[in-house]
Amino acid sequence: MNSERIKAIAKMVNQDDIVLDVGCDHGYLGMYLLKNNLCSKVYASDISNNALDVAKKNYQKYHLDIPCYLSDGLNNIDVSFNTLVISGMGTSTILKILDNPKIPNKLILGSNNDYYKLRKGIYKLGYYIKEEVVILENKHYYVIITAIKDNKKVSYKELLFGKSHNKEYYQYLYHKNQDIIKKVPLLKKLKLIYENKLLKGLIEKK
Ligand SMILES: C[S@@+](CC[C@H](N)C(=O)[O-])C[C@H]1O[C@@H](n2cnc3c(N)ncnc32)[C@H](O)[C@@H]1O
């Protein structure tokens, strides 16, 4: 398993975590966790029967005991778990899945887009972002977030850019904004100029 993104997710899992991997696809995260003895138990689910069949075959191949569930989000999940992983999906899908009373105290989330909306949604649910890691994979930056149940305040700056302290990522965002600034109407331009001022501060921070 060569995905640095999956390895970064696995790093956020603790030994006593009971993980549910929603949207497990071919099951790489579960395999990596159990093969390396990184946690006590893994459950896997997916909305796609085809994906789940591949995951089951992979788990069997390595004699891994990972129960699998065909489920849209948490709808058909009736086992108990204390850590929910949702990764490789868009923010809207992730937030839809999180809109469920079964969500546990610890969330590990890896969206493909709109991290501002995701962070906002996480705080709205009464969770606090404890850690963020940025991974560059296949020329795309992925932000992996660990959140725990806790009512804490968050700044607008952190909602926008997170707490990864990854200067390369901030530089990437800065240059992306610089390109967009040239093409957008005044109000949007002013917003992006303000964002870039904040980003500059993060980039230059000692
Ligand atoms: C791109 S794959 C990501 C696989 C893996 N989690 C990762 O991070 O590489 C997205 C997977 O999420 C599944 N999925 C999408 N929406 C879902 C939902 N509402 N509930 C469960 N699984 C879902 C898809 O079927 C697909 O297998």
Query: In ligand 1, which atom is closest to the CA atom of 96?
Result: 19
CATH of the domain at 63: 3.40.50.150
Q: At what angle do helices 28-35 and 49-61 cross, to 10 degrees?
A: 20
Q: What pLDDT, on the 0 to 100 scale, is given for residue 206?
A: 85
Q: Cβ distance 128 to 147 under 8 Å? A: yes
The answer to whether residue 39 is domain-embedded is yes
Query: In ligand 1, which atom is closest to the CA atom of 86?
Result: 6
**Proportion of the chain above pLDDT 90, given as a percent:** 99
48, 71: one domain? yes
The phi-psi region of residue 77 (left if phi > 0; otherwise alpha if psi is between -120 and 50; otherwise beta) is beta
Q: What pLDDT, on the 0 to 100 scale, is given for residue 1?
A: 77
Q: Is the CB of 58 under 6 A from ligand 1?
A: no
Domain range spanning residue 187? 165-206
The answer to whether residue 160 is domain-embedded is no
The answer to whether residue 107 is domain-embedded is yes
Q: Kindly report the average pLDDT of the chain as a whole number.
A: 97
Q: How confident is the model at residue 77 (pLDDT cuts 50, 70, 90)?
A: very high
77, 116: one domain? yes
190, 118: one domain? no
Q: What pLDDT, on the 0 to 100 scale, is given for residue 2?
A: 87
149, 172: one domain? no
| The model's pTM | 0.97
Q: How confident is the model at residue 53 (pLDDT cuts 50, 70, 90)?
A: very high
The answer to whether residue 159 is domain-embedded is no
83-100 exposure pattern, b = at least 16 Cβ within 10 A, e = fewer: bbbbbbbebebbbebbee
